[in-house]
Structure 1
Amino acid sequence: MTTAAPAKSGTLRKATLGVMTLAIMNITAVVSLRGLPAEAEYGLTSIFYYIFAAVFFLIPVSIVAAELATAWPQKGGVFRWVGEAFGPRWGFVAIFLLWVESTIWFPTVLTFAWVSLAFVGPNQKWDVALSANTVYTIIAVLVVYWGATLVTLRGVKSSSAISKWGGLIGTIIPAAILILLGAIYLIEGRPIHIELGWDKLIPDFSKFDNLVLAAGIFLFYAGMEMNAIHVKEIDNPSRNYPLAILISSLATVAIFVLGTLAIGLVVPQSEINLTQSLLVAYNDFFHFYGIPWAGSIVALALFAGVIGGVTVWVSGPSAAIAVVGRAGYLPPFFQKLNKNGVASNLLICQGLVVTFLAVMFVILPSVQAAYQILSQLTVTLYLIMYFLMFAAAIHLRHTEPVTKRPYVVPFGSAGMWIFAGAGLVGAMVAFILSFVPPSQISVGSPSTYIGILIAGNVIFVAIPLLIYANRKPHWKTTEGASDFEAFGWELEGRNPSEVQTKVVVLDENKGVAQ
């Protein structure tokens, strides 16, 4: 992820963002339509899961990240926050998991992109068959991913226009169309495939294996912490930032809930497919209203939206971990920047990992199985990063009580325990559920499914620990060392676990005590 550059020492940053502007930024950062079919499996019950995840994850992430971002705005993001609390070892684990989960995410989101492109054709049966073809999927994923990588290697300017227009055309407009069509369809009293009734809102908790797809909702809401850095740019942050969070949270939940229910109206539960049903729903709606040609236009728009998002995420996490790496946490090979200032070797290695994961679509029983396993591995790795972030926020409230916090989580220390504690509980529930094989999808042997997820988590947590344990002094570049500020506990000459006894003011350009 990318963060805004810190203000120069001695200058005041004026409020440049209004409440609605920040709310829209949050919505854009979080909302994606590709996961709606997974929750359409649950019908009205999906409303419960969306609200539960918002209360126990979306809001806690937003509130807690705002305090961390304003108290420690120096470069590094989650590496800085976790490292300030528990030391650079665990800070490096956090930033590595952010990078690797986004890497694993690429095959799943690109699968959706190419399913969208398959539905541009005039024959829906042919479209469905093509989108389920594993050879087509692998080739498509790799062509688009490496194309986005080549664009990214040319620098930020080359990809900014793609990401900007892709988000507008491929997410916001299609979401509005889907919700509008669903509302009209329901008002007209047409036949629906979703069971209505208040009793359908509460999940059947006796069917534990049915809850695993609901755990994916937590990843739907992930990413709100990326905009927390902007809390310093909003007037009266103690009042207006929570208001922006409330607006964006309600809007995000509304888009997800109404979009999911719109799919459930026209696609029978038994026919819901994780990679195809969104496009099938659009096509069904357009056929009902006599404009079948519009389905191809929406499919192209959704494809453009995914490409825009992928272009941003190809470079974002890689740039973040490259900055940390140049401070002495990655071998020189991965620190190399090309003439455009892009971490080229890191991007190439990331591409090789994506290529390997794409091949899983051939090995596993179906595209859906591969999609589900990679999606759940993405969820669990991201959640481990959030465990560290929430724990760091609680820890820092006690070990660095006098550090200036322009934005403070409401209700003092008790409020931090409430919000970060809720986030930890919600993340833990989602983490556990992610290891339960879903009953709705054939994933082969349940033990193999669980084994792959456990092995994936162990391997990807072990890798940064091994890299950190074997780091060398020459890994720290002169430029990287001068550009990366020291931790507060380093400047004070204490260990991260010791309680802060004095205030240290950092020059954000030089990283030294004044």
Structure 2
Amino acid sequence: MSAEAKDQATSPPPSKQAIRYISWVALALMTTSSVASLRPSPTMAVYGLASIFLYLVPAVVFLLPTALVSAELASGWNGGVYNWVSQGLSKPMGFLAVWCQFAMTIFYYPSLLGFVASTLAYVINPDLASSGLWTAIVIMVCYWAGVWVSSRGTSGVAGLASGGLIIGTLVPGALLVILGIAFLGQGNESAAPMTAGHLLPAWAGLSSLVLIVNNFLSYSGMEMNAVHVSSLRKPGKEFPRAMFLAMGLVLLIFILPALAISWIVPAEELSLTAGVMQAFDAVFAAFDSQWLTPILGVMLVAASLGGMLTWLAGPSRGLLLISRTEGYLPPYLQKLNKHGVQQNILVVQGLVTTVIALAYAFIPDVSSVYWIFSVITTQVYLIMYLLMFVAAVRLRRNQPDHPRGYRAPMLTGLCGVGFAASLAALLIGFVPSSQFGGGSVGIYLAIVAGGALGLGLLVPYLFYRFRKPSWKTGRARGGGAGMRTAEKLVYALVVVALLILGGVAVASYHGQKETEQAYAKAEQLQTALSTAGLRVPYKDSIVRVLGDDGGAVCHDPENALRRGTLYGMITNGAAGPGQRPVLVDNKLLQGQLLIMKVYCPQYVDAFQDVIDDLKDA
């Protein structure tokens, strides 16, 4: 059988009546929304100018190989990673690859939607941020709403994901950069040094190495939307364009907003327990525009939900395609709804996500366990990348004449660099993170290794071992037509919901009050920071951000969910499922501890215990 015949045998046949085409720009925006957002900006702003280095090095050794290699593979073979690895290695390896891509999302959704819950709480009623019930409700409502939207077909997902990226990432990101430039243009000194001596991050031993290597995963997911390549009119030409546009947007979104925040907000004022919104609030405080904070919060929620939709639609689709043709999953999981969407897979995944979400929201100190499992899922994901790079080399060697719309330059070298970067990230995953605290290294290694082997290898092996000939149900068909009215209704409901939410947020939000007590405490904090040898922010900046009660920093910092937020901030620079915990330099927490000593001393002992529990380099 020829290569093209094999390709056709493993890919759903195109049908002009069934396929709803999307533009390559929409696919680029989908890819960008699945990889990048503003969530890690405050975390990386702590490193100031060095954040450029922390993003560019991983971009060269991981983003570039992943983008170029997947562009070539998608321009020649439909179906995404399952078909690439099936053609390059074997069909069982193809199933393993797409399973690893699918499995790593299990612990992604609770983290992402937990961020949505805390963001909404911050702009509506901060007390809700400490409520497990609120967090659980938001996670479940948002996830199941996403399942419903995804079940309507790819074109609906593309529209909402693209809209979420523009509204929730590109617009607020551009606003942050403009404000940062305006701040410097007014003659203000940058809060973070912008000299050549600060281009490289300060070496803090093992923690620096862990951060740099783990940042490779910031760009994970670039290949994921290749499963939708058959929805493009000219896949060979349009998918590479989409990848190059997405690559540029991802770099801009990661680097520029983080720099802008570092110009305005001193690292000592970036509270790791208050999370992302406090950092943005501090930026707007410099311009007396804190009323923009709740609006930005709603926009960030839109971006997060758009990114969730792309991950719901992508990996599960690839798992479906190979399972229907090769019979790797039971027929129940292969069933399609009337729009040709793998609804049953999404529902089963949703049940698991719901259980995890409930545990994350209600069980005290579960967040440390949660982050260990997030390491396991990223380890599993890296197996997929190792297989993809090997398959790409074999396909170039064994099928050199197979039609490709794009040929990556120096493919073997690119795959070698990408493979080495993936392997390095896999190995560094066995270094215990700060969230693991003072636990036994041996136990950590056993959990991570056993979990990765079980979830990444044992589960797909069991599906493969016990498959039956009757499980082969045929090719997956495309989404049906006649969905325009339903899509317009979904879009209208989303717009109305965002407008209402924005109005409620603005009406409910209250900035910090500038009082004599606030200025007195600001002077105390300046003295404490100076004595500790840390950078001292301007008094007005401290007053706007912390008021007279410490603001978000002092809002129930010992709460279990606050600890979960802290753990969520001690991560690499990833915004998607590649988010992974790292080793923290405890100097980053000194500023927050000093704030508490001045504004809310009743919490100092409890927060000191939290810091002591963290494992540092």
TM-score when normalising by structure 1: 0.78
Residues 248 and 351 of structure 1, relative CA distance in 2, 3 Å threshold = closer
CA distance in 1, matches of 2:317, 2:174: 33
CA-CA distance at 1:245 after TM superposition? 5.6
Give the total of aligned pairs: 459
Residue 116 in 1 paired to residue 119 in 2? yes
Asked whether the 8 Å contact 1:105–1:374 carries over to 2, the reply is no
Residue 87 in 1 paired to residue 90 in 2? yes
What secondary structure, in the 3-state scheme, does the structure 2 residue paired with 1:403 have? coil
Which amino acid is the alignment partner of residue 131 of structure 1? Answer: A
* Segment drifting more, 138-147 vs 108-117: 138-147
Corresponding residue for residue 387 of structure 2: 388
Which amino acid is the alignment partner of residue 391 of structure 1? Answer: V
Asked whether the 8 Å contact 1:101–1:378 carries over to 2, the reply is yes
Residue 453 in 1 paired to residue 452 in 2? no
Corresponding residue for residue 474 of structure 1: 470
**Identity among equivalent pairs (%):** 36
Residue 355 in 1 paired to residue 354 in 2? yes
Corresponding residue for residue 341 of structure 1: 340
CA distance in 2, matches of 1:36, 1:451: 33
Which amino acid is the alignment partner of residue 45 of structure 2? Answer: A
Residues 399 and 376 of structure 1, relative CA distance in 2, 3 Å threshold = same
Residues 155 and 433 of structure 1, relative CA distance in 2, 3 Å threshold = same
Asked whether the 8 Å contact 2:71–2:406 carries over to 1, the reply is yes
Which is greater in Rg?
2
CA-CA distance at 1:372 after TM superposition? 4.3
Corresponding residue for residue 43 of structure 2: 38
Which amino acid is the alignment partner of residue 116 of structure 2? Answer: A
Which amino acid is the alignment partner of residue 421 of structure 2? Answer: G
Corresponding residue for residue 417 of structure 1: 412
CA distance in 2, matches of 1:38, 1:281: 9
CA distance in 2, matches of 1:213, 1:361: 27
CA distance in 2, matches of 1:457, 1:193: 42
Deviations 1:135-188 (CA, angstroms, capped at 9, x unpaired): 543332223212322343455566555334222211211211122222222333
Output aligned runs, 1:38-117, within 5 Å.
Answer: 38-73=43-78, 76-117=79-120
Corresponding residue for residue 460 of structure 2: 464
CA-CA distance at 1:375 after TM superposition? 4.5
Deviations 1:279-324 (CA, angstroms, capped at 9, x unpaired): 1122112222122211011101111221222233223322221222
CA distance in 2, matches of 1:116, 1:421: 40
Long gaps (5+) in structure 2: 1-10, 17-21, 479-617
Corresponding residue for residue 258 of structure 1: 256
Residues 320 and 241 of structure 1, relative CA distance in 2, 3 Å threshold = closer
Deviations 1:40-69 (CA, angstroms, capped at 9, x unpaired): 343332221211111011111111112211
Long gaps (5+) in structure 1: 10-15, 484-514
CA distance in 2, matches of 1:252, 1:157: 22
Deviations 1:363-419 (CA, angstroms, capped at 9, x unpaired): 56375x466445534432222211110011112222323323332122xxxx12211
TM-score when normalising by structure 2: 0.66
CA distance in 1, matches of 2:26, 2:300: 24
CA-CA distance at 1:357 after TM superposition? 2.6
CA distance in 1, matches of 2:461, 2:106: 18
CA-CA distance at 1:28 after TM superposition? 4.6
Corresponding residue for residue 501 of structure 1: none
Q: 2:217 aligns with which of 210, 216, 219?
A: 219
Asked whether the 8 Å contact 2:74–2:239 carries over to 1, the reply is no
Output aligned runs, 1:190-229, within 5 Å.
Answer: 190=188, 192-205=190-203, 207-226=205-224, 229=229
Corresponding residue for residue 503 of structure 1: none
Asked whether the 8 Å contact 2:71–2:240 carries over to 1, the reply is no
Asked whether the 8 Å contact 1:115–1:275 carries over to 2, the reply is no
CA-CA distance at 1:223 after TM superposition? 2.6
Residues 22 and 344 of structure 1, relative CA distance in 2, 3 Å threshold = closer
Asked whether the 8 Å contact 1:45–1:200 carries over to 2, the reply is yes
Output aligned runs, 1:277-426, within 5 Å.
Answer: 277-327=275-325, 328-358=327-357, 359-360=359-360, 362-363=362-363, 365=365, 367=367, 369=368, 372-373=371-372, 375-410=374-409, 415-426=410-421
CA-CA distance at 1:31 after TM superposition? 2.3
CA-CA distance at 1:273 after TM superposition? 5.3
Residues 306 and 212 of structure 1, relative CA distance in 2, 3 Å threshold = same
Alignment RMSD = 3.6
What secondary structure, in the 3-state scheme, does the structure 1 residue paired with 2:365 have? coil
CA distance in 2, matches of 1:160, 1:25: 6
CA distance in 1, matches of 2:324, 2:476: 7
Corresponding residue for residue 506 of structure 2: none
Residues 162 and 230 of structure 1, relative CA distance in 2, 3 Å threshold = closer
Residue 433 in 1 paired to residue 433 in 2? no
Asked whether the 8 Å contact 1:54–1:249 carries over to 2, the reply is no
Corresponding residue for residue 488 of structure 1: none
Asked whether the 8 Å contact 2:33–2:161 carries over to 1, the reply is no
Residues 27 and 391 of structure 1, relative CA distance in 2, 3 Å threshold = same
CA distance in 1, matches of 2:247, 2:162: 22
CA distance in 1, matches of 2:316, 2:212: 29
Residues 376 and 156 of structure 1, relative CA distance in 2, 3 Å threshold = same
Asked whether the 8 Å contact 1:267–1:280 carries over to 2, the reply is no
Corresponding residue for residue 484 of structure 2: none
CA distance in 1, matches of 2:34, 2:386: 21
CA-CA distance at 1:92 after TM superposition? 0.3
Asked whether the 8 Å contact 2:33–2:162 carries over to 1, the reply is no
Deviations 1:70-105 (CA, angstroms, capped at 9, x unpaired): 2222xx311111111221111101111111112321
CA-CA distance at 1:334 after TM superposition? 0.9
Which amino acid is the alignment partner of residue 331 of structure 1? Answer: P
Residues 396 and 157 of structure 1, relative CA distance in 2, 3 Å threshold = closer
Residues 401 and 378 of structure 1, relative CA distance in 2, 3 Å threshold = same
Asked whether the 8 Å contact 1:35–1:274 carries over to 2, the reply is no
CA-CA distance at 1:347 after TM superposition? 1.6
Deviations 1:17-54 (CA, angstroms, capped at 9, x unpaired): 78x88866654553222223333343332221211111
CA distance in 2, matches of 1:165, 1:482: 26
CA distance in 1, matches of 2:200, 2:123: 37
Which amino acid is the alignment partner of residue 393 of structure 2? Answer: I
Residues 286 and 39 of structure 1, relative CA distance in 2, 3 Å threshold = closer
CA distance in 1, matches of 2:176, 2:200: 25
What secondary structure, in the 3-state scheme, does the structure 2 residue paired with 1:102 have? coil
